[in-house]
Structure 1
Amino acid sequence: MSSPPAVPVTLAEIARLAGVGRAAVSNWRRRHSTFPPRIGGTDVSPHFSLADVEEWLRSNKKLGKATSREWLWPRFEALGDRNETGLAIAVVGRLLAAGEGDDGGPDDVGSGAVRAAVELGQREGPSDILTFLLRRWLDTYVRQITTTPEPLADLMADLALWVRESIEGEPREDVVTVLDPACGVGHLLAAAATAVPAALNRPAALLGCDRDPVLTALSDVRLALLPRPGTLPPMPVIASGDSLRADPLIGTQADMVLCNPPSNERDWGYEDLATDARWVHGMPPRTEPELAWVQHCLARLRPGGSAVLLLPPTVAARKAGRRIRGSLLRTGALRAVVALPPGAAAPHSVSLHLWVLRRSVAGETPSGPEELLLVDAAARFPRSETRENGPEWSELGAFIRSVVGASGGRAAGGARNGATAEDADTTAWATVVPVIDLLDDEVDLTPGRHIMSAPGHAGPRLTDSWNEVRELLDGLQTERARLAALDLTSGAADQPNATVGELLRAGALSLRSGRHPTEAVAPEPQHARIPLLTLSDLLLDGSPSGWTNPDDAVVAEPGDVVVVGIAREFSAWVHEGPPMAVGPQVHVLRADPQVLDHWFLAGSLKAPANARHAGTHASSSSRIDVRRLQVRRLSLPEQQHYSEVFRHLAAFERLVERLGIVARKLGQDLGDELAAGRLAHGK
Structure 2
Amino acid sequence: MSTPNAVPVSLAEIARIAGVGRAAVSNWRRRHDSFPSRIGGTDVSPQFSLSDVEQWLRDTGKLTDAGGREFLWPRFEALGSRDESGLAIAETARRMRAPRTRHPAPGLSPAATDLVGAAARRGRSDGARETFEFLLQRWLDTHVRQLSTTPPQLASLMARIALDAGRPKVRDGLTVLDPACGTGHLVAAAAQEYDGPGLALLGCERDPALAALAGARLGFTAEERDMRTEVVNGDALRDDPFAGVRADIALCNPPFNERDWGYEELATDQRWAHGLPPRTEPELAWVQHLLAHLEPGGTAVVLLPPAVASRKAGRRIRGSLLRTGTLRAVVALPPGCAQPHSVSLQLWVLQSVGTTAPAGHQDALLVDATTLAKPGGPDWEALTGFVLSSLSQLDRPDPELRTDRTVRVPLLDLLDDEVDVTPGRYVATGQEPSGVELAASWTELTSSLTELSRLVQHLSQLGFEADEPRTTATVGELVKAGAVTLRIGQQPADRSRTLPENSIPILTVPDLMLDGRPSGRVAPDAANTVAEDGDVVVAGVVRAFKAWVHEGPPVALGPQLYALRVLPEKMDAHFLAGCLRAPANGRQAGTHASSSSRIDVRRLLVLQLPPEEQKVYAETFRRLMSFDAVLGQTERLGKELVDDVGDRLAAGGLTA
Q: TM-score range by the shorter chain?
A: 0.7 to 0.9
Q: Which residue of 2 aligns with 1:391?
A: 378
Q: Which moved more, 1:85-94 or 1:95-104?
A: 95-104
- Alignment match of 2:516 (pick from 542, 547, 568): 542
Q: Which residue of 1 aligns with 2:211?
A: 216
SS in 2 for 1:497: coil
One-letter code aligned to 1:371: D
Report if the CA contact (8 A) 1:476-1:652 is conserved: no
Find the aligned partners of 2:596 and 2:125 in 1 and give their Cα distance. Answer: 58
Q: Which residue of 1 aligns with 2:185?
A: 187
One-letter code aligned to 1:196: Y
| CA 65–537 in structure 1, closer or farther in 2 if over 3 Å, else same | same
| CA 598–252 in structure 1, closer or farther in 2 if over 3 Å, else same | same
- Alignment match of 1:323 (pick from 316, 320, 335): 316
Q: Which residue of 2 aligns with 1:428?
A: 404
Report if the CA contact (8 A) 2:153-2:380 is conserved: yes
Report if the CA contact (8 A) 1:499-1:627 is conserved: no
Correspondence 1:452 to 2:452: no
Q: Which residue of 1 aligns with 2:164?
A: 162
Q: Which residue of 1 aligns with 2:274?
A: 281
Find the aligned partners of 1:39 and 1:610 in 2 and give their Cα distance. Answer: 38
SS in 2 for 1:335: strand
Q: Which residue of 2 aligns with 1:84?
A: 84
| CA 99–660 in structure 1, closer or farther in 2 if over 3 Å, else same | farther
| CA 665–404 in structure 1, closer or farther in 2 if over 3 Å, else same | farther
SS in 1 for 2:258: coil
Q: How does 1:283-322 map to 2 (within 5 A)?
A: 283-322=276-315
One-letter code aligned to 1:496: P
Name stretches of at least 5 consecutive residues in structure 1 with no aligned partner.
411-420
- Alignment match of 1:657 (pick from 623, 626, 632): 632
Report if the CA contact (8 A) 2:535-2:564 is conserved: no
Correspondence 1:115 to 2:117: yes
Displacement, 1:175?
A: 1.5
Report if the CA contact (8 A) 1:524-1:547 is conserved: no
One-letter code aligned to 1:493: A
Report if the CA contact (8 A) 1:504-1:510 is conserved: no
Find the aligned partners of 1:618 and 1:196 in 2 and give their Cα distance. Answer: 56
Report if the CA contact (8 A) 1:511-1:587 is conserved: no
Correspondence 1:253 to 2:246: yes
One-letter code aligned to 1:153: A
Q: Which residue of 1 aligns with 2:255?
A: 262
Q: Which moved more, 1:614-623 or 1:603-612?
A: 614-623
Aligned residues: 643
SS in 2 for 1:226: helix
Displacement, 1:158?
A: 1.5
- Alignment match of 1:145 (pick from 144, 147, 160): 147
- TM, length-normalised to structure 1: 0.82
Find the aligned partners of 2:647 and 2:210 in 1 and give their Cα distance. Answer: 48
SS in 1 for 2:467: coil
Displacement, 1:497?
A: 3.1
Q: Which residue of 2 aligns with 1:128?
A: 130
Q: Which residue of 2 aligns with 1:342?
A: 335
Deviation per residue, 1:2-59 (Å, 9 max, x gap): xx94433222222222222223223323333333344443443333333333333233
Q: Which residue of 2 aligns with 1:598?
A: 573
Find the aligned partners of 1:177 and 1:38 in 2 and give their Cα distance. Answer: 54
Q: Which residue of 2 aligns with 1:645?
A: 620
Displacement, 1:65?
A: 7.4
| CA 654–142 in structure 1, closer or farther in 2 if over 3 Å, else same | same
Q: Which moved more, 1:31-40 or 1:289-298?
A: 31-40
Report if the CA contact (8 A) 2:580-2:606 is conserved: yes
Q: Which residue of 1 aligns with 2:227?
A: 233
Report if the CA contact (8 A) 1:497-1:630 is conserved: no
Find the aligned partners of 2:259 and 2:352 in 1 and give their Cα distance. Answer: 27
Displacement, 1:84?
A: 1.3
SS in 1 for 2:370: helix
| CA 582–393 in structure 1, closer or farther in 2 if over 3 Å, else same | closer
Q: How does 1:602-621 map to 2 (within 5 A)?
A: 602-608=577-583
Q: Which residue of 1 aligns with 2:47?
A: 47
Report if the CA contact (8 A) 1:472-1:655 is conserved: no
- Alignment match of 1:371 (pick from 363, 366, 373): 363
Report if the CA contact (8 A) 2:539-2:546 is conserved: yes
| CA 68–158 in structure 1, closer or farther in 2 if over 3 Å, else same | same
State percent identity of aligned pairs. 50
Report if the CA contact (8 A) 1:102-1:118 is conserved: no
Report if the CA contact (8 A) 2:15-2:527 is conserved: no
Displacement, 1:580?
A: 3.9
Report if the CA contact (8 A) 2:455-2:627 is conserved: no
Q: Which moved more, 1:643-652 or 1:153-162?
A: 643-652
Deviation per residue, 1:505-542 (Å, 9 max, x gap): 89467797979x777755658579872522x4443323
Name stretches of at least 5 consecutive residues in structure 2 with no aligned partner.
none
Cα RMSD after superposing both structures: 4.1
Displacement, 1:76?
A: 2.0
Report if the CA contact (8 A) 2:485-2:566 is conserved: no
SS in 2 for 1:9: strand
Report if the CA contact (8 A) 2:19-2:526 is conserved: no
Q: Which residue of 1 aligns with 2:419?
A: 443
Find the aligned partners of 1:86 and 1:71 in 2 and give their Cα distance. Answer: 17
Displacement, 1:223?
A: 0.5
Find the aligned partners of 1:255 and 1:49 in 2 and give their Cα distance. Answer: 52
Find the aligned partners of 2:112 and 2:54 in 1 and give their Cα distance. Answer: 19
One-letter code aligned to 1:160: A
